[in-house]
Structure 1
Amino acid sequence: MMDGDGDDISILHVDDDPMFSELVSHNLTRRIDGVHVDTCERPEAVLDRVESDAVDCIVSDYQMPDMNGVELLEAVRESSDVPFILFTGHGSEAVASDAIAAGVTDYVQKDPGSDQWVLLANRVRRAISEYRAVEAQKESNRRFSTLIRAMPGVAYRSPIDSTWPMDFVSEGCRALTGYDPAELESGEVMWGADIVHPEHRGDGWDEILAAVEAGDRFDRTYRIRTRDGETKWVREQGLGVMEDGEAVAIEGYIFDVTDQHRRSIELRQKETLLDSLFENLPVHLFVKDDEARHVRVSSALVDDPESFVGKTDLEACVSSEMEHRQRAYEDDRHILETGDSILDKEEYVSNLDRWNLTSKVPWTDDDGNVVGIIGVSQDITERKRRKQVLSRQNKRLAEFANIVSHDLRNPLSVAHGTLELLREDIDDERLETVADTLGRIDDIVDDVLSMAREGRNVLDRERVSLADAVAEAWQTVHAEEATLELPESLGTVHCDRARLVRLLENLLRNATEHALTDDRTTPEITVRRLEDEVGFAVIDDGPGIPDAERESVFERGYTTDEDGTGYGLAIVSEIADAHDWDVRIRDAAGGGARIEVRTGQGLAPEADAQSNSTSED
């Protein structure tokens, strides 16, 4: 070893005197730990050894056949910087001068006595130590240079100046800014004046200067403009270079954070959106982790959302809520274990006498693993109560319809039968009056039953061709003297088919009956789509409906026909209300009544190719 530094030392001694070479090897081995000395008598062989083997130092004589020591040194220096000590007894100032010019590491004069071995060993030891230190520094510089070149950002050294002139800029400058490092190092392009975005020039200089002078690191984020005019966000970290306790320069690193900055903005926007949803939506939102513990809770249905965070439904409940919370927790475990969703589940909270409508879905990561639960609950107590009230009303209506059907139909059937028997035995005009009256009673019963059964019961909605529904309804009108005009297509309606047909029956029957007058015996009925709104209209060419009567015609029992029941348009109104449609009366172009049914978004074109009628009607 060499002074305990832990490295083996390989020395190549060159001398044409074998006996002296053995003496040199013996003395160096004694004085330098871990040394291994190889002897070479021919200088030409040295070059092969230097190229093929690791040699820490060459000790060479000067006076040798074929090639002297300086010539050998010159040959070695063509390929290697290995320490070379000229150890000769034929020295002179001229030889020393030539050796120094050729790059000799040291020059030792051969001198009889033991001191020359001590001197030679010390010179060898020092030459190897200095050489290894230089090589280590070269390797360190090489690695640092490789690292700087490989880094995606810009390493720099700059004088302390707010315009940021650059003494050194790494190669990463090209990729980041589009500028060549030499352009900044020469001052042709200034980082602070040409590359930093105008809105950020000079930002934070006082803080940077204070950090540099205090020996602290600074860290800032700002925008730059590249040679091509592209705007990028960069982050810069730097530190002052101190000499004799004074900051003389800044060294730092600048790298692109455009994507991170964009993601940060997107994340903040999402967080803001999430905050708004949790704070403003009139429904209860919640998020739970993979243990069914609340992560976030809105305040729509709870007074203290924070009291739920970190707790399951069971842990957050009071004794009066235990039954409800137990069911909710079991649902949570089911979602976490199976990945199934629970949608539109009605939950009754007995201690609050409240109904909630709750949906929960699994929260998954990028790999599809369930990591929690996302849910929403809505207070549907009022809806449930209205539904219960409606159910009771419908039950009463059904009972009423049964009573009317049984208790009135049976006596009417007896009256009709008795009338027919009387007609067989008696020819009296008054019996016709009785028959007409019984027929009118039948019509009233039919309409009353229809009114009782329409109501606002649940609709069986489907896409129905309006033209087909009109054709079906027209067959029941029995108006042989009237004509019906339809366009090529009326589109489709999202509705209960049976009720739409019933609505159309009453509209068409009303149109034919009121259009049929002494002056007009062949009324024309038209059905069209609305022009500027979504819906359809039934149009007749009769006398029309006076403005004063338009609000009354939809009332139950209202009629201007002595043979009418007054329930036809009331039934239309009931069916329209059940669908959330709107019915109104207008004058038809050229006279007559135009009853419009506005269906909102319920009317769609057939085959996605139809448009509203352009008829004036």
Structure 2
Amino acid sequence: MDESFRVLAVDDDPGISELITEFLPREDDRFIVETATSATEAIDRFDQEVFDAIISDYQMPDVDGLDFLETIRDDFDSDIPFIIFTGKGREEVAIDALNFGADRYLQKGGDPTSQYSVLADAVRNEIEKHQTKAELRALNQELTAQNQQLEAYTEQLETTEQRLRDEIEERKKREQELKRHKRLLDALFDFVPIHLFIKDRKGRHLWVSSEFYDDPERWIGNRDTEVEYDVPEEFSEEAYEDDMQVIEEGERIIDKETYDEARGRYFLTSKVPWRDEDGDVVGLLGYSFDVTEQKEREQRLQTIINNLPGIVYRCKQQPGWPMEMVRGRAEELTGYTADEIERGTVSWGDDIIHPEDRNWVWEDVNRATSGGEPFELTYRIQTRSGERRWVWEQGQPARTGGDVTQIEGFIMDIPEDIHSAGQS
């Protein structure tokens, strides 16, 4: 976004134009002031050039300020910020100016420093307000072209994502009769059961859902670090740093887990770049949702697994039994880490099971699971160090659809003397 503010100052008094040209850049170096001595000249300039705001006198010899304003609004169909800056102080003039679509009405006179400081503030505020409205219009255009983007934030949590997509589709069906996509956006932010947010290129909130906050409006226009709420300061700073990473590098952050100490809650947050039609990053879209209950269930399950005298697993029913998940005391049992076994650095069926037992173990397991039955067997394994151990395994088909595709089970070692006693 261009950071300069191009302002067209229109006044038949060159001295006033010179003061505007001098004082506005003093107040804010983003101001670039162009001048015109009549409304006719200003209309010609406006037709050929792009401006961010217009400052106009009321009384001018050829066309007065109100007729000039009406031309800008009606003939050019422009909503550019328009400030009437005049010495004419009648109340009816001010009312007419505002009725014709002027954004501000200011009177000349008084101390130039304070007078032009007020003028600069008014122009700057109206330009920034106008830019924010333009950004929201661009948002509606972006969402029209990318309806499916909100349905595909992440592929990692299929159940949650499906629920969100279903709710979006259901809401879209109810809102199809509405012509403006803003209504769909309002409904989405008001009703989905997760926290949604949209931010501009500077990390300022443009839109915030009410899932986490009772007063989402106080976030609009502010960064995370600029809103006071009950979280540690570093929590807000980290969120802002993530925003800048997504915006400046154009990379997604998917399902980042954070812990809010103030509320004692875990959250998963995803942020993706928001791009315009040219592919330029103009902000970000994101969502966050509370996974505390899921996290606590996982922690309880992990505690149970860690206390088991062996490992639990899920593997593919294929030669070698590629492991998709290994939890528990894998390294204590085999000498290999769970990560090595899951990544296939070492194969359970081809490397860990003792060579003399591999064939019959495969046959017994395949026979049971092909019939959809559980199995239980004792066999030997070789550890990383070459030690031979006896293990007891119990498993069952995890999913069937014609052929068994997965197995889930439990494996623990048994002392060789116990195994020998069982064999006798």
TM-score (norm 2): 0.40
- Higher alpha-carbon Rg: 1
Higher relative contact order (CA 8 A, sep 6+): 2
